[in-house]
Structure 1
């Protein structure tokens, strides 16, 4: 078995001008936050709303809170974004008193989890008299379409404009137009990443018979790379293929696979150890197991030892299978951690 950097083609620099990230193998990431904030502000600066009944304008962005990133792994682009927006608008009725009204538009859940057409767009007006309420109704009817259209431009720009240069051509290639791009929220109608559950043993208020088990896995990566894959939201999003809630600090909580898996972190030692309280949604209410993951970097690979204490006996086999399928196999596929060279 080859050691890192000895004979492994992922670590051999080909003859190319940039000599970086050969074959797009390594995980690279760009912070899209600043670019996104500027782009969103630009898209909603003095935007006219088409209406036969009123003169309406979205004036500016009052608040844009959140984060965004673009990541490249093995020639695939993965996008993560989550924003909370507040926009200002103003307008007056064409056949009214010529009085101007002001209001706000809130978009609390712009993320890769939600299609633009499904966004919750909330519209309010400062003065809710007869004219103000009529303007609010017009904004509901026509303003929402403009908001969705502009946000679609932002998402398209994130995937096409911002990500330019992240996919490098391989040796002998001049462009990478055919590279596949992905978002972390796959089409749920095509891919079901929910864990397999045993439908029994949902009773509460009973003494639970539990078991303990251990698993050992080998990964072709460094200990820190494995730790990052378990604790960085972009990487967890990539291998779970769905929306993730993750706060990797002591006491921080997490939710994966649509909330089917949840818990909190008890201990985090970068590159060494992860301890967390962990449960399936179907387990008896309030019951958590303790998962300890020890990460040991060897000469030519990283060994991971998982011990899980407090698994309901009826769920033991299913839990083992789900760790293998939805964590280890998925991580190896997403990041290339399972490829060993001899």
Structure 2
């Protein structure tokens, strides 16, 4: 089949939501840090939900991406000095969620809602959320790099 798209002038779209789900699961799951006091570990145990839209397009020969995703992640805070004599103690201090209601292509400052961390909420927000943000802010560049070659028609 011959596609007439001289000089890549017309829109060419690619749905990248499946790739995005794999990418975010691989980059975020098991992301962890040790607290500044050295007493606990904060770990993202699961990306429980990724919904929304993610696309890479080409217009006039230039690749662009646009995405609007909702992310939900399970995070666990565990103590590092677990009592080895107590086999029932898995060291869990808090099990919570991080929610990003709108992770969008044109925003780098988006709200992150934390739930279930109780006394550890401040620590999760100040010491772990920046690591999550750092990972998420690489997504757009990686999305374009991974898919812009597929759009040449």
Short-chain TM bin: 0.7 to 0.9
Q: Which runs of 5+ in 1 are unaligned?
A: 1-17, 169-342
Match of 2:99 among 89, 98, 106: 106
Deviation of 1:83 (Å)? 0.5
Shift in Å at residue 31 of structure 1?
0.7
Q: Given the alignment of the two structures, is residue 84 of structure 1 paired with residue 70 of structure 2, yes or no? A: yes
CA, structure 1 residues 160+50, in 2 after alignment: closer, same or farther (shift >3 Å)?
farther
Name the CA distance, whole Å, in 2 between partners of 1:81 and 1:144. 21
Q: For 1:242-261, what aligned pairs fall within 5 Å after superposition?
A: none
Please identify runs of 4+ aligned residues in structure 1 that moved more than 3 A.
18-22, 93-99
1:125 paired residue number: 116
In the alignment, the residues of structure 1 paired with residue 127 and residue 152 of structure 2 have an alpha-carbon distance, to the nearest angstrom, of: 39
Question: Could you give the per-residue CA deviations for residues 238-287 of structure 1, whole angstroms, max 9, x where no partner exists?
Answer: xxxxxxxxxxxxxxxxxxxxxxxxxxxxxxxxxxxxxxxxxxxxxxxxxx
Whose radius of gyration is greater, 1 or 2?
Answer: 1
Q: 1:73 to 1:51 in 2, by over 3 A?
A: same
Cα pair distance change 1:136/1:93, threshold 3 Å: farther
Choose from 60, 64, 78 the match for 1:74. Answer: 60
1:49/1:58 contact within 8 Å kept: no
RMSD: 2.3
Summarize the Cα distance change of 1:75–1:43 in structure 2 as closer, same or farther, 3 Å threshold.
Answer: same
In 1: Cα distance, 2:144 partner to 2:132 partner = 19
Measure, in 2, the Cα distance between the counterparts of 1:125 and 1:112.
28
Q: Once the two structures are superposed, what CA deviation does each residue of 1:160-216 show, in whole Å capped at 9, x if it has no partner?
A: 112223246xxxxxxxxxxxxxxxxxxxxxxxxxxxxxxxxxxxxxxxxxxxxxxxx
Pair 37,69 (structure 1): closer, same or farther in 2 beyond 3 Å: same
Aligned residues: 143
Distance 1:43 1:50 in 2: 18
1:136 is aligned to 2:121: yes
- Larger strand percent: 2
In structure 1, the residue matched to 2:18 is 34
SS in 2 for 1:52: coil
Superposed displacement of residue 113, structure 1: 2.8
Unaligned 5+ segments in structure 2 are 84-88
Aligned partner of 2:86 in structure 1 is none
TM-score norm. by structure 2 comes to 0.82
TM-score between both structures, scaled by the size of structure 1: 0.39
